[in-house]
Amino acid sequence: MIRIKLSDLLGKHKMNQKTLSRLTNIRPATISKMYYEETKCIDISQINNLCKALDCEVSELFEYIPDNQNSKR
């Protein structure tokens, strides 16, 4: 499973979803789906825009959790 750590990064930067949407040109509904980890796919250009706006590396935005650890959380 891939965890999207957007909520952590927004908190770290004291930024809301609306501001991130404006900075990245990503629709607010799409940002919301990423924030709540409900999205099924993310375009590479969106990842690029998120990293640019949040001044982060891709590894700060995503976390890989092996499937066998899902049941432990």
Note the pLDDT tens digit of each residue in 23-57.
Answer: 999 999 999 999 999 999 999 999 999 999 999 99
CATH architecture of the domain with range 2-70: Orthogonal Bundle (1.10)
Structure pTM?
0.87
DSSP-assigned letters across all residues of 50-73: HHHHHT--HHHHEEE--HHHHTT-
Give the dihedral sign, CA 6/20/12/61.
positive
